[in-house]
């Protein structure tokens, strides 16, 4: 016992059979199959059988935090992932810069996928006040940003102002329960949304864009309210030091919620062009002073949502190629996904995921391939997302005996 561990999660990895085979089964994956041959395999329901996980609840569960009690709403993880420090009671949202017409109908939810100006526009909004509530606004990538409402008496039980599709009017946020807090939060969010339009519509950047016939970034549309509450950290829970290597803000955000050290990697883009070798190197380096490193690879999910089976197969093959780098570290490797996203349905599904655990002393079952069907017969049987961290930490000697 003793050692270190890599928790490697390929987003949306699980799939269904199309013409008899899943993308994993189609992929040339000699290294994944070696892990299966020399390790123990099984299937994992990230939440529980039949429950379709979101990316946020899935990662909470994988980190050992029961999402039924710990989930705080997507906005929290987006804001943390954007690098904001949150305070107890903050209510956070994911946002888009968008284009509305004079009747407040959304013409482009992404303002022409505007790039390079978010930070400048954000300066006009950040630090404002609405009804004594503080406004923290940060632009992130392209048209994206995060909004944090900071003050007393706020609630996450409010509906989105983002209509989620174009040619629909901007919605009025509504309280989703009868509390004063929810009413007040909806009021503030609506006022902020109007204010963002008043401020941004006049901004020279947008005046210029309109002249050039480009959609102006003339409003902020918010969605996915979350209320921050401090969770006990992984270090408090298990006495371990942990790190996160991920490209996507959401995954960094969930990692920050449990106080993993988030390591920014040049070229980690959360898309198919991500630099997997750079990420693997970052994992190797992080293992020097962390017990557990969480490695997240997003693009498998992107291909799934596009229904691109070949793209997913090729991405799996690229991921397979970095496994030797990880195996050389001598750390335990736990490889799985956060949820299934069948290319056939293009949406998250409740199908369980294959999982393999590789490392010193692991009981080796007779499964030789890493895929959804082969791992049905694995020695782990069917486990749940909440089981992953305890199993992993017990292997590296970081859990205590229960009783004596």
Token pair of 221, please?
């549309």
- Structural contact between residues 251 and 299, judged by C-beta atoms closer than 8 angstroms: no
Compute the distance between CA of residue 105 and CA of residue 37 in angstroms, rounded to an integer.
56
CB under 8 A: which stretch of 97-105, 128-136, 311-319, 377-385 binds its own copies? 377-385
**CA–CA gap between residue 29 and residue 356 (Å, rounded):** 14
275 touches its own copies (CB under 8 A) = no
Candidates 115, 141, 167, 347; binder of its own copies (CB under 8 A) is 347
- In degrees rounded to 5, what are phi and psi of residue 18? -120, 120
The stretch among 31-39, 211-219, 305-313, 387-395 that binds its own copies (CB under 8 A) is 387-395
- Least separation, in Å, of the C-beta of 202 and its own copies? 33
401 binds its own copies, rule: CB under 8 A: yes
Binding mask 25-64 for its own copies (x = CB under 8 A): ------------------x---xxxxxxxxxxxx-x----
Among 244, 372, 385, 396, interactor with its own copies by CB under 8 A: 372
Stretch that binds its own copies, among 95-103, 138-146, 269-277, 370-378 (CB under 8 A): 370-378
By the rule CB under 8 A, 393 interacts with its own copies: yes
15 in the Ramachandran plot: left (φ > 0), alpha (ψ -120 to 50) or beta?
A: beta
Smallest gap, in angstroms, from Cβ of residue 393 to its own copies? 7
Residues 6-25 that bind its own copies (CB under 8 A): 16-17, 22
Nearest distance, CB of residue 397 and its own copies, angstroms: 8
Q: Which of 237, 318, 321, 382: binder of its own copies (CB under 8 A)?
A: 382
Q: How far apart, in whole angstroms, are the C-alpha atoms of residue 257 and residue 110?
A: 28
Contacts of 252 (CB under 8 A, 6+ apart): 80, 81, 244, 246, 262
- Is residue 385 involved in binding its own copies (CB under 8 A)? no
Residue 56 CB, shortest distance to its own copies, in Å, is 5
404 lies in the binding site for its own copies (CB under 8 A): yes
Residue with tokens 């962390």: 290
Residue 81 engages its own copies in binding (rule: CB under 8 A): no
CB of 238 to its own copies, least distance (A): 11
* 402 contributes a contact to its own copies by CB under 8 A: yes
Burial 80-95 (b: 16+ CB within 10 A, else e): bbbebebeebbbbbbb
What DSSP string describes 158-189? B--S--SSTTSBPPPP-BSSS-HHHHHHHHHH
- Per the DSSP assignment, residues forming a β-bridge with 297 are 10
Residue 350: both structure tokens together: 């409740």
Beta bridge partners of 355: 42
The size of the interface with its own copies (CB under 8 A), counted in residues, is 59
Candidate segments 206-214, 259-267, 284-292, 349-357, binder of its own copies by CB under 8 A: 349-357
Are 250 and 233 spatial neighbours (Cβ–Cβ below 8 Å)? no
Residue 330 within binding range of its own copies, rule CB under 8 A: no
Strand partners of residue 40: 357
Angle at 306 (CA atoms; ends 301, 309), nearest 5 degrees? 80
Interface residues for its own copies in 218-257 (CB under 8 A)?
Answer: 224
Which residues of the chain form contacts with its own copies (CB under 8 A)?
1, 16-17, 22, 43, 47-58, 60, 67, 71, 74, 224, 342, 344-345, 347-351, 361-366, 372-373, 376-379, 381-383, 387-394, 399-404
């Amino acid at each position: 016992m003793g050692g270190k561990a890599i928790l490697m999660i390929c987003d949306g990895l699980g799939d269904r059979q199309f013409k008899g085979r899943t993308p994993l089964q189609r992929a040339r994956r000699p290294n994944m199959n070696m892990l299966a041959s020399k390790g123990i395999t099984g299937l994992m329901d990230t939440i529980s059988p039949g429950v379709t996980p979101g990316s946020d609840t899935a990662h909470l569960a994988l980190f050992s935090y029961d999402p039924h009690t710990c989930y705080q709403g997507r906005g929290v993880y987006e804001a943390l992932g954007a690098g904001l420090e949150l305070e107890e009671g903050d209510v956070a949202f994911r946002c888009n810069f968008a284009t509305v017409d004079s009747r407040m109908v959304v013409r482009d939810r992404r303002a022409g996928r505007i790039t390079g100006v978010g930070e400048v526009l954000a300066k006009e909004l950040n630090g404002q006040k609405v009804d004594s509530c503080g406004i923290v606004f940060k632009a992130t990538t392209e048209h994206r940003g995060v909004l944090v409402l900071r003050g007393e008496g706020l609630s996450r039980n409010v509906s989105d102002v983002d209509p989620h599709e174009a040619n629909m009017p901007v919605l009025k946020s509504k309280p989703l329960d009868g509390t004063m807090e929810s009413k007040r939060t909806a009021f503030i969010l609506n006022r902020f949304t109007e204010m963002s339009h008043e401020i941004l519509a006049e901004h020279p950047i947008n005046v210029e864009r309109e002249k050039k016939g480009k959609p102006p970034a003339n409003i902020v549309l918010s969605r996915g309210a979350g209320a921050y509450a401090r969770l006990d950290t992984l270090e408090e829970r298990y006495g371990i030091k942990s790190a996160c290597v991920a490209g996507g803000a959401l995954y960094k955000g969930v990692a920050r919620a449990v106080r993993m050290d988030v390591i920014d990697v040049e070229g980690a883009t959360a898309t198919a062009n991500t630099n997997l070798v750079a990420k693997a190197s970052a994992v190797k380096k992080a293992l020097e002073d962390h017990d557990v490193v969480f490695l997240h690879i997003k693009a498998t999910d992107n291909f799934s949502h596009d229904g691109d089976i070949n793209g997913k197969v090729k991405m799996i093959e690229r991921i397979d190629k970095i496994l030797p780098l990880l195996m050389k570290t001598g750390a335990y490797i736990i490889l799985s996904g956060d949820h299934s996203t069948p290319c056939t349905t293009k949406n998250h599904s409740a199908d369980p995921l294959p999982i393999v655990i590789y490392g010193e002393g692991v009981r080796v079952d007779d499964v030789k391939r890493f895929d959804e069907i082969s791992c049905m017969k694995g020695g782990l049987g069917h486990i749940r997302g909440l089981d992953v961290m305890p199993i992993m930490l017990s292997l590296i000697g970081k859990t205590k005996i229960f009783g004596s």
